[in-house]
């Protein structure tokens, strides 16, 4: 492998390789002296700054050295793939594709494959197969839309959680207790996750989505709202999260009476930091006593407690938004679930959550938040098909919105899925 970079310092710091000895397989270089080495490579991946003009300049240089047939791909997290092809040769365009590895790639399984209309079909088939069988990724075929699948749904989800926190006047520790393992999400939940990713990074992705999507009712409403004062406070003060030592949470050098490090949390109203609390919410205690996730989720969206109102609105927006993005970002809905499970470590994707909550209850949640049901959901409802997935003959099947039939999820035919035999 040939890596054109400044050095291997970050490789050791971020631990993206399984064993340190594997670093001997990496040769470092720079764009001025070593770019000619790509003539011997079969696949060249661009992973530079998210600026279209700089990427285009690099691809112009890459074309001077690549051999015919070399695969070229970009790891961009959102820039339209087709815009990078200006001035490139026909052979370059045929072998060019977006390959978005979710970061950090050693730990996150999602690999989004984003072809352009000029990408050769055999290239797409190879990347989908190679990514799954050789790299061990969950390859998800995406359309060339802003932020693709994972970050498009992810931006909506994080934004809605943040807005609802403000609306229902929750403390951030309470929302993190509500939105982690309780609903099948990582313990980083909502605000710890934003600190982990970096508030500046999250803001850049959100701005990119807001500036580039069209015909998106949720984003259109978002543009009309002023930025929450606490987000403005954090960004202006460069409190970006873990990398700056302070974000929604602040790790201090002080210890409590038990010798544990004191973690402060931001009060969203006063914008002052105070020792983080351990929330004791009745709804959480009751829900944790329900082992079956379907029953737990149904309890969490039904009722008048403000925690239940929070979840009812969140899932109503999530279901409505995800359904409205099909077929815009993907021809079928199962890639949306695949992307959110493997890119964000959710136990369930949006449509799997919907199955657990129940088809009709999910629709009522969508209607309560004022979202519009897309035609394909109405067609499912009118035909009496009220499950997105079902197990049949030892296979997990999805409802194909084009054929109007339940079919095996592509790529699962050679797997034994134990859930199908429960």
Which residues participate in catalysis according to the annotation?
77, 100, 112, 151
The two tokens of residue 169 are 């006047």
Question: Backbone phi, then psi, for 78, in 5-degree steps?
Answer: -175, -20
User: Exposed (0-12), middle (13-18) or buried (19+): which is 117, by Cβ within 10 Å?
Assistant: exposed
Cis peptide before 291 (omega within 30 of 0): no
The two tokens of residue 145 are 């839309």
CA dist., res. 173 & res. 55, Å (int): 40
- Sign of dihedral through CA atoms 128, 129, 134, 137? positive
CA dist., res. 1 & res. 42, Å (int): 10
Partners of residue 389 on adjacent β-strands: 398
Q: In what order do the strands lie in the sheet with 249-255?
A: 249-255, 261-266, 273-275
> DSSP per residue over 36-58, as a string?
GGGGG-SEEEE---S-HHHHHHH
The two tokens of residue 126 are 């190879």
Question: Backbone phi, then psi, for 352, in 5-degree steps?
Answer: -70, -40
130: which residues sit within 8 A by CB, 6+ positions away? none
């Amino acid at each position: 492998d040939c890596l054109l970079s400044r050095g291997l310092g970050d490789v050791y710091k971020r631990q993206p390789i399984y064993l340190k000895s594997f670093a001997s397989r990496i040769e470092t270089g720079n764009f001025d002296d070593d770019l000619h080495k790509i003539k011997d490579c079969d696949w060249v991946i661009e992973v530079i700054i998210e600026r279209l003009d700089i990427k285009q300049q690099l691809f112009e240089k890459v074309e001077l050295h690549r051999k015919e047939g070399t695969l070229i791909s970009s790891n961009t997290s959102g820039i339209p793939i087709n815009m990078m092809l200006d001035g490139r040769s026909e052979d370059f365009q045929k072998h060019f594709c977006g390959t978005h590895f979710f970061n950090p790639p050693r730990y996150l399984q999602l690999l989004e494959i984003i072809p352009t209309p000029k990408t050769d079909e055999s290239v797409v088939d190879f990347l989908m197969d190679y990514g799954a069988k050789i790299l061990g990724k969950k390859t998800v075929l995406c359309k060339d839309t802003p932020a693709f699948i994972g970050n498009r749904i992810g931006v909506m989800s994080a934004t809605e959680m943040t807005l609802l926190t403000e609306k229902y006047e929750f403390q951030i520790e309470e929302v993190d207790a509500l939105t982690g393992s309780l609903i099948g999400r990582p313990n980083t939940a909502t605000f710890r996750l934003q600190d982990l990713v970096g508030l500046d990074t999250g803001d850049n992705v959100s701005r990119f989505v807001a500036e580039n999507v069209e015909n998106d009712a949720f984003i259109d409403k978002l543009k009309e709202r002023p930025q929450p004062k606490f987000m403005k406070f954090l960004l202006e003060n460069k409190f970006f999260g873990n990398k700056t030592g302070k974000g929604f949470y602040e790790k201090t050098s002080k210890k409590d009476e038990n010798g544990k490090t004191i973690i402060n949390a931001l009060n969203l109203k006063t914008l002052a930091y105070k020792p983080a609390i351990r929330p004791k919410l009745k709804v959480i205690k009751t829900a944790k006593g329900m082992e079956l996730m379907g029953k737990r989720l149904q309890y969490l969206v039904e009722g008048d407690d403000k925690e239940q109102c929070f979840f009812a609105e969140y899932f109503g927006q999530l279901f409505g938004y995800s359904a409205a993005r099909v077929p815009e970002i993907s021809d079928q809905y199962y890639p949306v679930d695949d992307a959110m499970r493997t890119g964000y470590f959710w136990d369930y994707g949006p449509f799997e959550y919907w199955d657990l909550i129940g088809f009709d209850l999910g629709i009522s949640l969508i209607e309560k938040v004022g979202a519009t049901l897309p035609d394909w959901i109405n067609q499912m409802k009118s035909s009496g098909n009220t499950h997105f997935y079902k197990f049949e003959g030892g296979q997990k099947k999805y409802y194909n919105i084009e054929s109007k039939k339940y079919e095996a999820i592509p790529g699962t035919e050679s797997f034994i899925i134990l859930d199908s035999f429960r």
